[in-house]
Amino acid sequence: MLSPNEFRDRYPESELSDELPDSPVSSLRDLQYLYGKLYTLATTGGGEYAPYLTPDAARDLVDTDDSLIVVRIDVSGDEPKLADDAPGPVLVTRYTNDLIQQVGHSKYPAARGIDHSVTHQAGRNSDPEKLARYAKERLTRWATDDVVTTAASGHPEGWVINRLAELGTREGALEAIEEAVVRGLGGESATALLTVQVKTERDGDYRWPGDIAAFNEAMRQRKLSKLVTKNKADNSSGDATDLVTGEPSRTVGTAEDPQNYFLGKQLEKFPGLDIENAWRSHPISEDAAVTVMNAEAFVEACTYRTFGAKVYYLPYFFGQLTPERVYRLYEMLFSAVEDGSDATPIELAYMEERELDDSDARLRFYVSAVMPHQMSRYDVFGETLNGRLHFPRELAFTHNRFVRNASAFNTDTDWTAPLPKNDKWGLLSANDEQLHAVSTGWYFYQTFAERDDAEADADDPRIEALVSVLSGDAIAVDVLLEEYVTRIIDGESDDDFEGFPSFLVASQFAQLCALADGDLDLLKTNDPGKNQIALKPTYERLTMPTLEEILIADGGYPAEQKLESFIDETPALSPAHDDDEDSVTSERRGAFLLGALVGDIGSYQEYHEDRSTTLVDQYPVKSITRARIKKVTQETVAKTLTYTRQEKKSGQRYPGTKAEHIVERLRETVLDPDPDDWEIDTDDLRFYYALGVTYGMNDHPDWDQQSSDANDELTADEEN
* Long-range contacts of the stretch 504-508 (C-beta < 8 A, 24+): 504/447, 505/690, 505/691, 505/693, 505/694, 506/409, 506/419, 506/420, 506/421, 506/425, 506/428, 506/694, 507/425, 507/426, 507/427, 507/428, 507/446, 507/447, 508/447, 508/484, 508/687
Is residue 158 within 8 Å of 148, Cβ to Cβ? no
For residue 393, is it within any domain?
no
Task: Reply yes or no on whether the pLDDT at 199 is more than 50.
Answer: yes
Measure the CA–CA gap between 430 and 409, rounded to whole angstroms.
11
Question: Rounded CA gap, 654 and 657, in Å?
Answer: 8
- pLDDT (average), residues 363-387: 79
The C-alpha torsion from 564 through 568 and 573 to 579, rounded to 10°, is: 120
To the nearest 10°, report the CA torsion of 115, 119, 123, 128.
Answer: 140
- Examine the fold and report which residue of 199, 222, 245 is the final residue of a domain before the chain moves on: 222
Let me know if residue 603 belongs to a domain.
yes
Q: What DSSP element (H or E) covers 179?
A: helix 171-185
Q: What is the residue range of 568's domain?
A: 560-701
Q: Is the pLDDT of residue 716 over 50?
A: no
How many whole angstroms separate alpha carbon 647 and alpha carbon 655? 11
pLDDT tens across 218-264, in order? 999 998 887 776 656 667 778 888 888 888 888 877 677 787 776 54
CB 319 within 8 A of CB 24: yes
pLDDT at 539: 79
d(Cα 588, Cα 574) in Å, to the nearest integer? 10
The answer on pLDDT for 548 being more than 60 is no
Residue 620 within any structural domain of the chain: yes
**Which of 189, 222, 255 is the endpoint of a domain?**
222
Question: Mind listing the pLDDT tens digit for each residue in 608-629?
Answer: 878 888 999 999 999 999 999 9
Residue 273: what pLDDT? 64
> At residue 707, does pLDDT exceed 60?
no
Cα(653)–Cα(407) distance, integer angstroms: 31
* Residues 321-349, mean pLDDT to the nearest whole number: 88
Residue 32 domain-assigned? no
Position 358 pLDDT exceeds 50: no
Q: For residue 191, which of 99, 53, 69, 56 has the smallest C-alpha distance?
A: 69
pLDDT digits (tens, 9 = 90+) for 150-179: 999 999 999 999 999 999 999 999 999 999
- In 30-45, which positions are buried (b, 16+ CB within 10 angstroms) versus exposed (e)? bbbbbbbbbbbbbbbe
- Residue 146 identity: D
CB 107 within 8 A of CB 116: yes
Range list of β-strands (E), 489-630: 523-524
Report the residue count for the chain.
Answer: 720
- d(CA 344, CA 301) in angstroms, rounded, equals 9
pTM of the predicted structure, to 2 decimals = 0.81
Report the pLDDT averaged over residues 707-713.
45
Burial profile 641-660: b = 16 or more Cβ within 10 angstroms, e = fewer: eebbeebeeeeeebeebbbb
Domain-embedded: residue 694? yes
- Cβ atoms < 10 Å from Cβ of 674: 9
Q: Please count the structural domains in the chain.
A: 2
Partner residues linked to 365 by β-bridges: 315, 387
Residue 613 lies in a domain: yes
User: Which of 177, 197, 222 is the last residue before a domain boundary?
Assistant: 222
Is pLDDT of 542 > 50? no
User: Is residue 276 assigned to a domain?
Assistant: no
What's the mean pLDDT when you consider all of the chain? Answer: 85
Q: Is residue 714 part of a domain?
A: no
